[in-house]
């Protein structure tokens, strides 16, 4: 396992990692039949997450889609949750609509809006360069005004290979996604692979930023499917997901790092995903809980 010198020193002194980090969940805005969630769905979502986990923060991906910002923020306030709002910048229409939703609703619920992300794996998909995405981040920061952390979420390798370097100076918060499953790792190698990815990119970002406290860092997504096909050497399954959750995810949180688990609930409406090697994989069974909000394994770290 390769540890960045800067990150290792920060861990040793406690400047990059507190006694315990925060756990959060990625949260979809659609029901299992692909219809939009309503307010009652988010009430039930938060109740299930609060009952089964210690998490009190979720992230969403597109603030205007299904009116999610409008619906989720007042319910988050009632439930004692915070939300990372997402802006989808990949088309002019989605960027404009999501930015408008954030500008309208975020100031009304400042305590509930933990941060705003502009894009999710937009560099990974090749939709933007680092410079282009940095400009979008600055645009949103200007539009939403002071008092909000604005950044992006992307795959760990886009931070590691320098694609995201231009964003470091523009972002207040960066979410780094890392999936040992999508790297085809065996369960025995999964935790080590995950830690190596995160330590590499956190260290690089901190070096570019010039310190350990210049930009807030989270694991933006990580997880393991409970069903589906074997992806290279990665075997889906409840036992496998349980093991990865408690070894890799809880281990990272115990070290003081903040982690969003992908995802809170199964999303049966999703089409199959395509891995980097071109193989097809089921993406409907990544939830820590089922569509009816039942935990698949213990979710307490």
Could you read off the pLDDT of 219-233 as tens digits, one per residue? 999 999 999 989 999
- At residue 258, φ and ψ (nearest 5 deg) are -90, 135
Residue of 221, 240, 263, 267 marked catalytic = 221
Q: Which residues contact 211 (CB under 8 A, 6 or more apart)?
A: none
Tens digits of per-residue pLDDT, 100-113? 999 999 999 999 99
Q: Is residue 240 annotated as part of the catalytic site, yes or no? A: no
Q: Which residues contact 199 (CB under 8 A, 6 or more apart)?
A: 1, 2, 3, 4, 7, 8
Check whether 41 has a pLDDT greater than 80.
yes
User: Are the C-beta atoms of 109 and 141 separated by less than 8 Å?
Assistant: no
Check whether 16 has a pLDDT greater than 90.
no
Q: Find the angle CA(29)-CA(30)-CA(36) to the nearest 5 degrees.
A: 95
Q: Which residues contact 167 (CB under 8 A, 6 or more apart)?
A: 130, 133, 134, 137, 151, 152, 174
Check whether 287 has a pLDDT greater than 90.
yes
Q: 197 pLDDT band (50/70/90 cuts)?
A: very high
Residue of 93, 104, 121, 276 marked catalytic = 121
The pLDDT, as a whole number, for residue 122 is 98
Report the 10 Å Cβ neighbour count for 34. Answer: 10
Report pTM: 0.93
What are the respective helix, strand and coil percentages of the chain, to the nearest 5?
Answer: 40, 20, 40
What CA–CA distance (Å, rounded) separates 216 from 205?
10
Fold adopted by 5-281: TIM Barrel (3.20.20)
The pLDDT, as a whole number, for residue 276 is 64
Check whether 11 has a pLDDT greater than 80.
no
Q: 281 pLDDT band (50/70/90 cuts)?
A: low
Check whether 5 has a pLDDT greater than 70.
no
Alpha helix segments (H runs only) across the chain: 5-13, 39-52, 68-79, 92-105, 130-144, 156-160, 187-209, 238-244, 250-254
Q: Find the angle CA(129)-CA(191)-CA(226) to the nearest 5 degrees.
A: 90
Check whether 259 has a pLDDT greater than 50.
yes
Please report, for the chain, the start and end positions of each structural domain, with discontinuous segments joined by +.
5-281
Check whether 256 has a pLDDT greater than 80.
yes
Q: Which residues contact 93 (CB under 8 A, 6 or more apart)?
A: none
Q: Is residue 104 annotated as part of the catalytic site, yes or no? A: no
Average pLDDT, integer, range 54-74: 98
* 213/110: higher pLDDT: 110
Computed over every residue of the chain, the mean pLDDT equals 92
The pLDDT, as a whole number, for residue 136 is 98
């Amino acid at each position: 396992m390769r540890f960045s010198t800067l990150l290792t020193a920060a861990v040793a002194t406690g400047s990059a990692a507190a006694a315990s980090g925060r756990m959060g969940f990625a949260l979809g805005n659609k029901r299992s039949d692909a219809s939009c969630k309503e307010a009652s769905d988010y009430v039930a979502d938060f109740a299930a997450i609060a009952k089964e986990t210690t998490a009190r923060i979720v992230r969403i991906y597109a603030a205007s889609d299904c009116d999610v910002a409008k619906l989720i923020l007042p319910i988050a306030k009632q439930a004692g949750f915070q939300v990372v709002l997402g802006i989808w910048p990949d088309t002019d229409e989605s960027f404009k609509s999501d930015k408008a939703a954030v500008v309208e609703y975020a100031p009304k619920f400042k305590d509930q809006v933990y941060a705003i992300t502009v894009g999710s794996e937009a560099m990974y998909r090749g939709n933007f360069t680092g410079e282009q995405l940095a400009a979008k981040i600055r645009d949103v920061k200007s539009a939403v005004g002071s008092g909000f952390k604005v950044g992006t979420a992307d795959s760990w390798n886009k931070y590691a290979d320098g694609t995201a370097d231009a964003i470091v100076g523009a972002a207040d918060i960066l979410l780094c996604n890392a999936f040992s499953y999508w790297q085809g790792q065996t369960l025995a190698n999964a935790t080590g692979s995950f830690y190596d990815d995160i330590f590499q990119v956190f260290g690089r970002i901190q070096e570019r930023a010039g310190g350990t406290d210049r930009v807030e860092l989270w694991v933006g997504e990580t997880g393991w499917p409970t069903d589906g096909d074997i992806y290279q050497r990665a075997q889906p399954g409840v036992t496998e997901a349980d093991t990865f959750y408690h070894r890799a995810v809880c281990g990272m949180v115990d070290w003081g790092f903040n982690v969003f688990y992908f995802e809170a609930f199964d999303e049966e409406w999703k089409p199959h995903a395509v891995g980097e090697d071109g193989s097809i994989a089921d993406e409907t069974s990544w939830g820590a809980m089922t569509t009816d909000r039942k935990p698949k394994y213990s979710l307490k770290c």
